[in-house]
C-alpha cells in the first residue's frame, strides 16, 4: 500500500494520491448534532402572518378597496369594490340612474379575508392545474373543457351566450369559439372566467364535467351581480313579432312598457331590431 503511495507522489499524481487516502483511510465520522425540529405552524397562523406582512408593506384606506375591471375590447382599470342596488337603479329614470347609484351603493371594506383571497387565489388555481397535468389526456382535454363550459352555460344563464360573455367580461365571438371548440382560452382568460363564476380552473377539464357544488357556486356568483349588464337574448325577428302583436292589443302600450315586458331596461334593442321605427332625438 505504502509503495503504491510513494509511486503516486513520485509521478506527481497528487490528486490520485489524495483519492487514495480517502479510499483507504476514511476519516472518523463527525459527531452528529441533534437539531430541534422547527415549531409547527398551523394553516390559520400562516394566513395571519401573510396578511400581517401584506399590511406592513402596503398602506391605504380600510373602509374600501379597489377591484380590477376589464372590458371585452381590452380596456381595463380599477374601481372601488361596491354592492349596488340594481333594482333601485333599473326602476329609476335613465337621467337619474347615476344619482340613484351614488346614493344606494355600499362600499366593501378591506378585510383580512379579502387580502387572503387576493394573495392565494391565483396561486391555488395554477397549482391545481399543474397538479392535474400528469393525469390529463391532451387530446381529450379541449373537449372536456368545451362540455364543461356548455354545462355552465345551460345551468347558469339558461343557454344565453351573451349573458355569460358579459358576466365573465369576454367578447361574444370569443366565447362562441370556445363553445364551438375552435380554440381554448389563454391562462389569464381561463382564470378570469373561473374568478367570475367562482369555481376551480381544474374542474373545467374534468372528464365527468362540473359537480353540483360548482354549479351552485357559479349560480350564486352570477346572482350577486344583480344581472347588471345581462340582457335577454332575442333575435330581431322575435322582437318584431312582439311589436306587431302589441299593435293589435286593445289598450296600446308604450315602447318602454313593451321593452320592460321583454326584460329590457330601455328601448334601444327594440329600435335596433326594427329599423322602420325612428328613435326620437
pLDDT of residue 263: 64
The residues near 237 (Cβ < 8 Å, ≥ 6 apart) are none
| Residue 117: per-residue pLDDT | 81
Per-residue confidence (pLDDT) for residue 228, from 0 to 100 = 47
**Mean per-residue pLDDT, 194-206:** 88
Q: State the chain's mean pLDDT as an integer.
A: 77
Quote the pTM value.
0.54
Residue with cell 378591506: 110
The SS3 assignment for 67 reads strand
Strand partners, 82: 107
What whole-number distance in Å separates Cα of residue 120 and Cα of residue 11? 63
Alpha carbon 57 to chain centroid distance? 26
Work out the percent of the chain whose per-residue pLDDT is above 70: 74
Sort 18 into a burial class: Cβ within 10 Å, 0-12 / 13-18 / 19+.
exposed
pLDDT: is 207 or 27 the higher one? 207
- List the grid coordinates of 39: 415549531
Q: Average of pLDDT values for 85-97?
A: 83
What pLDDT is stored for residue 277 in this prediction? 52
pLDDT of residue 42: 72
Q: What are phi and psi of 71, to 5 degrees?
A: -90, 170
- 268's CB contacts (< 8 A; 6+ apart) are 279
Name the nearest CA neighbour of 121 among 53, 45, 215, 192.
192
Decide the pairing of beta strands 82-83 and 106-107.
antiparallel
| Residues present in the chain in total | 281
Q: Which residue has the higher pLDDT, 261 or 3?
A: 261
Region 143-149 average pLDDT: 92
Q: Cell triple for residue 210?
A: 362540473
End-to-end CA distance of the chain: give it in Å, rounded.
Answer: 109
- Strand ranges in the chain using DSSP code E only, listed in sequence order: 66-70, 76-80, 82-83, 106-107
**Residue 264 pLDDT more than 80?**
no
Amino acid at each position: 500500500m505504502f509503495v503504491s503511495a510513494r509511486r503516486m507522489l513520485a509521478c506527481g499524481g497528487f490528486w490520485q494520491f489524495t483519492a487514495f487516502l480517502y479510499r483507504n483511510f476514511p476519516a472518523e465520522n463527525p459527531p452528529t448534532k441533534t437539531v430541534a425540529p422547527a415549531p409547527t405552524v398551523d394553516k390559520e397562523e400562516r394566513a395571519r402572518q401573510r396578511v400581517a406582512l401584506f399590511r406592513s408593506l402596503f398602506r391605504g384606506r380600510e373602509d374600501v378597496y379597489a377591484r380590477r375591471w376589464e372590458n371585452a375590447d381590452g380596456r381595463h382599470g380599477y374601481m372601488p369594490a361596491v354592492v349596488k342596488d340594481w333594482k333601485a337603479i333599473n326602476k329609476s329614470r335613465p337621467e337619474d340612474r347615476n344619482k340613484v347609484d351614488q346614493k344606494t351603493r355600499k362600499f366593501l371594506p378591506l378585510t383580512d379575508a379579502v387580502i387572503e383571497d387576493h394573495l392565494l387565489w391565483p396561486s391555488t388555481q395554477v397549482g391545481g392545474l399543474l397538479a392535474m397535468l400528469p393525469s390529463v389526456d391532451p387530446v381529450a382535454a379541449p373537449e372536456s373543457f368545451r362540455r364543461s363550459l356548455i354545462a355552465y352555460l345551460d345551468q347558469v344563464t339558461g343557454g344565453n351566450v351573451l349573458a355569460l360573455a358579459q358576466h365573465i367580461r369576454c367578447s361574444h365571438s370569443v366565447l362562441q369559439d370556445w363553445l364551438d371548440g375552435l380554440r381554448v382560452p389563454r391562462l389569464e382568460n381561463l382564470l378570469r372566467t373561473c374568478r367570475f363564476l367562482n369555481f376551480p380552473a381544474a374542474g373545467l377539464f374534468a372528464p365527468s364535467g362540473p359537480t353540483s357544488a360548482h354549479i351552485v357556486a357559479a349560480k350564486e356568483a352570477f346572482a350577486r351581480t344583480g344581472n347588471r349588464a345581462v340582457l335577454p337574448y332575442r333575435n330581431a325577428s322575435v322582437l318584431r313579432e312582439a311589436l306587431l302583436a302589441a299593435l293589435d292589443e286593445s289598450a296600446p302600450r308604450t315602447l318602454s312598457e313593451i321593452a320592460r315586458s321583454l326584460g329590457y331596461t330601455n328601448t334601444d334593442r327594440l329600435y335596433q331590431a326594427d329599423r322602420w321605427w325612428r328613435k326620437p332625438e
